[in-house]
Amino acid sequence: MHPTYPPEPWRIKMVEPIRLPTPTERREALLDAGYNTSLLRAADVFIDLYTDSGTNAMSDRQWSDMMIGDEAYAGSRSFYRLENTIQQYYGYPHVIPTHQGRGAENILSRILVKPGSHIPGNMYFTTTRTHQELNGGTFHDIIIDEAHDPADEHPFKGNVDLAKLDRLIKDVGAEDIPYVSLAATVNMAGGQPISLANLAETRELTAAHGIPIILDAARAVENAWFIRQREPGHADHSIARILAEICDLTDGACMSAKKDSYANIGGWLAVRDPDLAERARNLVVVYEGLHTYGGMAGRDMEAVARGIEESVEHDNIRARVEQVAYLGDRLIAAGVPVMRPLGGHAVCLDAAATLEHVPRTEFPAQTLAAAIYLDSATRTAERGAVSAGRDPVTGDHRYPKLELVRLTIPRRVYTRSHIDFVADSVINVHNARATIASGLTFTHEPSVLRFFQGRFTPADRMVQSRT
DSSP string, 201-260: HHHHHHHHTT--EEEE-TTHHHHHHHHHHHSTT-TTS-HHHHHHHHHHTSSEEEEETTST
Cis peptide before 341 (omega within 30 of 0): yes
By CB under 6 A, the residues from 307 to 346 that bind ligand F0G are none
State yes or no: residue 300 binds ligand F0G (CB under 6 A): no
User: Distance (Å, rounded) from C-alpha 36 to C-alpha 454?
Assistant: 7
> By CB under 6 A, is residue 187 in contact with ligand F0G?
yes
In angstroms, give the least distance from the CB of 108 to ligand F0G.
Answer: 11
- Please confirm, yes or no, whether 79 is among the known catalytic residues: no
**Of 198-237, which residues contact ligand F0G (CB under 6 A)?**
216, 218
CB of 195 vs ligand F0G, minimal distance in Å: 18
Whether 216 is catalytic is yes
Shortest distance, position 186 Cβ to ligand F0G, whole Å: 8
| Dist. CA 114–CA 134, nearest whole Å | 9
268: Cβ contacts below 8 Å, ≥ 6 apart: 82, 86, 95, 96, 97, 98, 104, 254, 255, 257, 294
Contact between 384 and ligand F0G by CB under 6 A: the answer reads no
DSSP codes joined into one string, 6-70? PPPSS--SS--------HHHHHHHHHHTTT-GGGS-GGG-SEE-S-SSS-PPPPHHHHHHHHT--
Task: Give the range of 123-131, 227-235, 316-324, 389-397 binding ligand F0G by CB under 6 A.
Answer: 123-131
Site for ligand F0G in 248-287 (CB under 6 A): 256, 258, 267
Question: Is 139 marked active-site?
Answer: no
HSE-CB at 58 with a 13 A cutoff on CA atoms is 22
Residues 30, 15: Cα–Cα separation, whole Å: 27
Annotation says 367 is catalytic? no
CB of 187 to ligand F0G, least distance (A): 4
Applying CB under 6 A, does 125 fall inside the site for ligand F0G? yes
CB of 262 to ligand F0G, least distance (A): 13
Taking the complex as a whole, the smallest distance from the CB of residue 287 to ligand F0G amounts, in Å, to 13
Given phi > 0 = left and psi -120 to 50 = alpha, else beta, which region is 81?
alpha
Shortest Å distance, C-beta 149 to ligand F0G? 21
What is the rounded CA–CA span in Å between residue 341 and residue 445?
Answer: 33
> Which helix (DSSP H) or strand (DSSP E) does residue 378 occupy?
strand 378-379
Angle at 193 (CA atoms; ends 360, 383), nearest 5 degrees: 20
Q: Say whether 307 sits in a helix, a strand or coil.
A: helix
Closest to ligand F0G by CB, 101 vs 190, is 101
> Do 411 and 323 form a contact (C-beta atoms < 8 A)?
no
Q: Given the residues 19, 27, 32, 73, select the one marked as catalytic.
A: 73
Considering beta carbons, is residue 125 or 326 the nearer one to ligand F0G?
125
Rg (CA), the chain: 22
Name the segment binding ligand F0G (CB under 6 A); options: 122-130, 197-205, 331-339, 457-465. 122-130
203 or 219, CB closer to ligand F0G?
219
Strands 94-98 and 267-271 come out as antiparallel
Instruction: Indicate which residue of 126, 128, 367, 378 is catalytic.
Output: 126
Stretch of residues binding ligand F0G (CB under 6 A), selected from 14-22, 75-83, 100-108, 389-397: 100-108
Catalytic status, residue 170:
no
Residues near ligand F0G (CB under 6 A), total: 15
387 near ligand F0G (CB under 6 A): no
Smallest separation, CB 189 to ligand F0G (Å): 10
Q: Pick from 100, 159, 264, 316: which binds ligand F0G (CB under 6 A)?
A: 100
Dihedral of CA atoms 306, 309, 310, 313 in degrees, nearest 10, equals: -170
Q: How far apart are CA 56 and CA 99, in angstroms?
A: 16
User: Is 187 or 250 the residue whose CB approaches ligand F0G more closely?
Assistant: 187
Q: What residues between 20 and 59 interact with ligand F0G by CB under 6 A?
A: 51, 53
Active site residues: 73, 125-126, 216, 259, 383, 451
* Contacting positions for ligand F0G (CB under 6 A): 51, 53, 100-102, 125, 127-128, 183, 187, 216, 218, 256, 258, 267
